[in-house]
Chains A and B, each alone.
Chain A
Amino acid sequence: GQQLNQSPQSMFIQEGEDVSMNCTSSSIFNTWLWYKQDPGEGPVLLIALYKAGELTSNGRLTAQFGITRKDSFLNISASIPSDVGIYFCAGQNSGGSNYKLTFGKGTLLTVNP
């Protein structure tokens, strides 16, 4: 099956710093999604990417769909304490009746005030 490698596994940063994390795949996807999970909650969709090379922002978050379609990156600028949580990438070959997501193992982000 498809494998997603997400890195880093965890990050400890100071408030105000920028953060970068990425996902790489052994095969191509036509959709990349980035989710955030707060403690005790379900994942919440942050950004969806649908086109190779696409760069999309959501507030302080920016994500890119790699040109090879095998990777994606998420950047968080000027981190704040509420950015704490687990960030997951997910790849999908959407279209028709294919809805299945393949998830990375997550990046645990800790922000020190």
Chain B
Amino acid sequence: NAGVTQTPKFQVLKTGQSMTLQCAQDMNHEYMSWYRQDPGMGLRLIHYSVGAGITDQGEVPNGYNVSRSTTEDFPLRLLSAAPSQTSVYFCASSYSTSGHNEQFFGPGTRLTVL
């Protein structure tokens, strides 16, 4: 298994540009989520999905869209990038076993918005 994969690893955007961060997992996990990590802020939840066709907002959803058309993929879209979205973005996936859900993280995408 490749686990959780994210592309690209690095990206530089200009203010107002749009882009999609890709996330895929090959573990048949039902739950997937996106976090952003900023210095001194820890990891904050942007959006999450509990299964194909189901998404919901996390703690910091503004400026981001998601969709979940398949179990494997959970892309994160920035419609009009802003400098405040400069961050490291992590995708995670999780399975449920005996009611416990342990999340596995991808390697991250480092985004700079100029």
- Measured CB to CB, the residues of A under 8 A from B are 1, 6, 31, 33, 35, 40-45, 48, 50, 88, 92, 94-101, 103-106
Contacts and interface: CB of A to CB of B under 8 A. Distances in A.
B105 A99 contact: no
B interface, size bucket: 20 to 34
Count chain B CB atoms within 10 A of each CB in A31, A42, A98 and give the residue with the most. A42
A50 B107 contact: no
Contacts, number: 63
B31 A99 contact: yes
Interface of B: 4, 31, 33, 35, 40-45, 48, 50, 58-59, 90, 92, 94, 96, 99-108
Contacts of B108: 40-42
Nearest to A45: B102
A33 B90 CA distance: 17
